[in-house]
Amino acid sequence: MTIRVAVLGAAGRMGATTCAAVEAADGLELVARLDVGDDIAALAGTADVAVDFTVPDATEANVHALLDAGVHAVVGTTGWDDDALARVREHAAGTPGVGVMIAPNFALSAVLAMRFAELAAPLFASVEVVEMHHPRKVDAPSGTAIHTARGVAAARAAAGAPAMPDATESDPRGARGADYDGVHVHAVRLDGLVAHEQIFLSNPGELLTIRTDSFDRSSFMPGVLLAVRGVARHPGLSVGLDAYLDL
């Protein structure tokens, strides 16, 4: 059966790339391109899945409107915090049968890097995350870096790993980066870059670097299409594409 797909933020960089990928994909039909001011309620009954690549200020309201319309949501827009995720989780619980996938990164290399970091994290004394992006990105650190840091912290906590060594007493300008559950995250903005992340894991005498690079927006499309095809089978809120992969 053909899956009818709408794209929110269709005129944006990721939205336009998604429209082209959906049009080229077997079994998917692009039925709507929505931008600022367009009516999401009108998607009820005409679209099965909507992909949101908009802006952090708009994405949560879009997802609530999609839930109200009974349209599955695949969300790549970043900027989500715990409270916003909790509100969507609660709304989705009251909307049985509708799935929401919020993925901070649809690139399979990034999804795997996050998983590898979780596996390795309890085995190393120190772990830090450095994300690097183009300077037009409006939020920092990246959603991927936050998701990575939280996964690392959770894996270390589950394994009973001790606190990381750090003698810093004075850091008036925040040079040690942002602290996510005890994992430091550093954001670099450089013209010419697209989306890159390195996870440094060290023990005395050794360093493991896990690195993922997206050179082009096409890197996100296999993951977006995988989510579009899978979201109806996963009612409720899922965070991170690994939830749909058997890793």
By annotation, the residues acting in catalysis are: 133, 137
The region of 64-72, 100-108, 166-174, 201-209 touching ligand NAP under the rule CB under 6 A is 100-108
How many residues are listed for the chain in this entry? Answer: 247
Residue 99 lies near ligand NAP (rule: CB under 6 A): no
Q: Which is nearer to ligand NAP, 56 or 122 (CB)?
A: 56
Buried b (16+ CB within 10 A) or exposed e, 166-189: eeeeeeeeeeebbebeebbbbbee
Cβ 190 vs Cβ 174: under 8 Å = no
Q: Is residue 150 classed as helix, strand or coil in its secondary structure?
A: helix
The region of 76-84, 156-164, 180-188, 201-209 touching ligand NAP under the rule CB under 6 A is 76-84
Candidate list 20, 33, 58, 236; residue touching ligand NAP; CB under 6 A: 58
Burial of 62 (0-12, 13-18, 19+ CB in 10 A): buried
The region of 28-36, 161-169, 173-181, 183-191 touching ligand NAP under the rule CB under 6 A is 28-36
Strand partners, 211: 198
Residue 55 lies near ligand NAP (rule: CB under 6 A): yes
Residue 238 lies near ligand NAP (rule: CB under 6 A): no
Residue among 61, 74, 73, 56 nearest 137 (CA): 56
- Measured distance CA(142)–CA(137) in Å, rounded: 9
Phi, psi torsion values for 213, nearest 5 degrees: -130, 130
Helix 56-69 and helix 82-93, axial crossing angle in degrees, nearest 10:
10
Strand partners, 186: 130
Q: Which is nearer to ligand NAP, 69 or 201 (CB)?
A: 69
Candidate list 23, 35, 81, 179; residue touching ligand NAP; CB under 6 A: 35
Q: How far apart are CB 223 and ligand NAP at their closest, in Å?
A: 7
**Beta-carbon neighbour count of residue 136 at 10 Å?**
8
Within 215-234, the residues that bind ligand NAP by CB under 6 A are 220
Q: Which is nearer to ligand NAP, 20 or 164 (CB)?
A: 20
Q: How far apart are CB 98 and ligand NAP at their closest, in Å?
A: 19
Q: How far apart are CB 236 and ligand NAP at their closest, in Å?
A: 19
Residue 199 lies near ligand NAP (rule: CB under 6 A): no
> Which residue sits closest to ligand NAP, CB atoms considered?
12
Q: Which residues bind ligand NAP (CB under 6 A)?
A: 8-9, 11-15, 34-36, 53-56, 58, 62, 76-78, 103-106, 220
